[in-house]
Structure 1
Amino acid sequence: MAMMPRAATWRSMLYVPANVPRFVAKAPGAGADAVILDLEDSVPPAQKAAARDGLAEAVATCRTGPGAVLVRINRPLRLAVRDIEAAVACGVDGILMTKAMDAGHVRLLAEVLDELEGGSPRCVLLPLIESAAATECMAEIAGASPRVVALLCGAEDLAAEIGCTSDDEVMAAIKRRMVVAAAQAGVAAMGTLGSIADFRDLEKLRDTVARSRRAGFVGASCIHPGVLPVLNEGFAPSEKELDLARRQIQVAEEAEREGRGSFTVDGRMVDEPILRRARRILAAAR
């Protein structure tokens, strides 16, 4: 199988119930880098089959916007396979894998995708860490398939199992570990260190997103379009960061031509780890 991209770059992902046409109709113009058509928690059990049957129309609507189109699938496996078949038939860009268990679980769904797509892989996987057991094998989950491009934490499900609140330090510690696990596999860590459910408190939202970006997260999902501008701004490099990164790269190139292995920018030493960060910042801007 051809190699897939190894890190998602979406700053913002908007959950949209796939069974609610008025929400689907608004999704393309909401400003999200990716729209997640949800077949799972936001769809009542009695409507799941209808939501799946209507997925092609929902995907076509979301394709009128600039963002990627993803689908969150159900568990158990019987429902997951049906959801994947419908999603692949619609040509979606990715699958949010509900309640990822372990690396074997990821490989199983990747095998289903391989069979459906043949030799032209398109659909990526984003496993959701939603159980205490899964927190112990996050690195293995992230590295289980070249289709995996990001890890996410299903905070409410995980907190309910652990017995803590979704904004407790226990959850923050797990999310920080997830960032490390994602880095080991070369994939993105998506999420925030705290709740972003209250879209009315912009100051708190911006602070949460800023802390999350400093911790290594590259983007996050939300359920209200009012949060999207904060995510898009907060997870994008600032002009100050871009200016410094450009100058660091420029001075590095000049130093290399002059045979110098060390140099300073703005009074601070710059070496290879700093240059890696500069390249990452410039890549994120592109």
Structure 2
Amino acid sequence: MRSKLFVPGSRPELFGKALTSAADSLSFDLEDAVAEPRKDEARGLLRDFLLSDAPRAHTKTVIVRVNAMDTPHFAQDVAEVVRAGVHLINLPKPESPGHVVIAAHAVADAARANGVTQVPGLLLNMETPKSLRTGAALAMAHPSVKGLQLGLGDLFEPYGIHRREPSAIAQALFAVRMAAAEADVWAYDGAFANIKDVEGFRAECELSRRMGFLGKTCIHPSQIAIANEVFQPSQKEIDDALKVVEAARNADQNAVGAYVVDGKMIDRPFVLRAEAIVQSALAMGLITSK
């Protein structure tokens, strides 16, 4: 899921176009992208689309961002959009493990009511100071949590932190990645609002990838190609990883603990990283075998 394209739930003319885009996943948004007077309308439009054959005719990961649990829209959002072919429910602003458990039960109940056999997982937004501080506990609150997603606009702007402050971005990325690592879920980066700042978007993608994030949210189709490029392993990374995996295989056969590959001392942590790169390359079709 290198790229995730946001699609406003109130813009049905964009639904089909999004399906044919190069994004790995789509996030149909019922929250910030939909004005309050249009919430009910957007929910109905999205429900009808999800009930059609179109989403299931594609291989993209389908995500729905519902409204937060403290709004009057959350319960109805979940009841209407948990449908076959929806993989993840994106939960804004979870504030406690108890909230996560309640949300997970609501999704499971909706799945049963709607005859959905594959219950969608939860993608939790880390966009408040409390969620950033308690990210690991939130992620471990229920087995349905699959990942944590950073939201820098909501996290920074209300407190006078500039959205583009490099030191703040790096600290927030690191905190979310460590929380995700502790909970053994994946970390996903949020949106970059300045569509015209191509280099800024690329730089933020590159930083989050170096921080171990899986991919980045795109608010415009023009950002998709950059995210797809940055969040896939380069040929050099693949070649180096294959060398490490092969050296590890030989070392295991000869009961060797640490060893050198291309002048670098290698032990178990580096092998795990190399194996992850190889698995990603296999999943993306960049290589056909180890």
What's the TM-score once normalised by structure 2's chain length?
0.88
- 1:123 counterpart (120, 128, 135): 120
Match of 1:104 in 2: 98
Match of 2:62 in 1: 69
Name the structure, 1 or 2, with higher relative contact order (CA <8 Å, separation 6+).
1
Instruction: Give the distance between the partners of 1:90 and 1:262, measured in 2 at CA.
Output: 48
1:260 Cα deviation from its structure 2 partner: 2.8
Counterpart contact for 1:191–1:219, Cα < 8 Å: yes
Match of 1:180 in 2: 178
1:89 Cα deviation from its structure 2 partner: 3.3
Match of 1:267 in 2: 263
- 2:76 counterpart (61, 76, 82): 82
Counterpart contact for 1:35–1:62, Cα < 8 Å: no
Q: Which moved more, 1:234-243 or 1:254-263?
A: 254-263
Instruction: Give the distance between the partners of 1:104 and 1:121, measured in 2 at CA.
Output: 23
Match of 2:133 in 1: 136
Counterpart contact for 2:145–2:185, Cα < 8 Å: yes
1:155 Cα deviation from its structure 2 partner: 1.8
Counterpart contact for 1:126–1:150, Cα < 8 Å: yes
**Does the residue aligned with 1:54 lie in a helix, a strand or coil?**
helix
Q: Give 1:66's aligned amino acid.
A: T
Deviation per residue, 1:196-248 (Å, 9 max, x gap): 33344433333221121111211111210110111111011111111111111
**Does the residue aligned with 2:82 lie in a helix, a strand or coil?**
helix
Match of 1:51 in 2: 42
1:272 Cα deviation from its structure 2 partner: 0.6
Instruction: Give the distance between the partners of 1:225 and 1:172, measured in 2 at CA.
Output: 25
When the two chains are superposed, the root-mean-square deviation of aligned CA atoms in Å is 2.0
Instruction: Give the distance between the partners of 1:136 and 1:23, measured in 2 at CA.
Output: 36
Counterpart contact for 2:26–2:62, Cα < 8 Å: yes
1:77 Cα deviation from its structure 2 partner: 4.9
Match of 1:161 in 2: 158
Instruction: Give the distance between the partners of 1:205 and 1:157, measured in 2 at CA.
Output: 18
Instruction: Give the distance between the partners of 1:243 and 1:170, measured in 2 at CA.
Output: 34
**1:16 maps to 2:7:** yes
Deviation per residue, 1:58-108 (Å, 9 max, x gap): 334344433111100012354111111111135411111011111111111
1:134 Cα deviation from its structure 2 partner: 2.0
Q: Which runs of 5+ in 2 are unaligned?
A: 284-290
Match of 1:189 in 2: 187
**Does the residue aligned with 2:83 lie in a helix, a strand or coil?**
helix
How many residues align? The count is 275
Deviation per residue, 1:9-38 (Å, 9 max, x gap): x11111001111221121011111110011
Aligned identity (percent) is 33
Q: Which runs of 5+ in 1 are unaligned?
A: 1-9
Show the 5 A alignment for 1:213-228.
213-228=209-224
Instruction: Give the distance between the partners of 2:243 and 2:141, measured in 1 at CA.
Output: 38
Counterpart contact for 2:6–2:217, Cα < 8 Å: yes
**Does the residue aligned with 2:33 lie in a helix, a strand or coil?**
coil
**1:202 maps to 2:198:** yes
Match of 1:234 in 2: 230
- 2:29 counterpart (26, 33, 38): 38
Instruction: Give the distance between the partners of 1:31 and 1:37, measured in 2 at CA.
Output: 16
1:166 Cα deviation from its structure 2 partner: 1.9
What's the TM-score once normalised by structure 1's chain length?
0.89
**Does the residue aligned with 1:35 lie in a helix, a strand or coil?**
strand
Q: Give 1:67's aligned amino acid.
A: K
Q: Structure 1 pair 270/172, CA: closer, same or farther in 2 (3 Å)?
A: closer
Deviation per residue, 1:143-193 (Å, 9 max, x gap): 11111111112222222332222222334422321111111001111116x
Q: Give 1:127's aligned amino acid.
A: L
Q: Give 1:166's aligned amino acid.
A: R
Instruction: Give the distance between the partners of 2:86 and 2:253, measured in 1 at CA.
Output: 46
Counterpart contact for 2:83–2:111, Cα < 8 Å: no
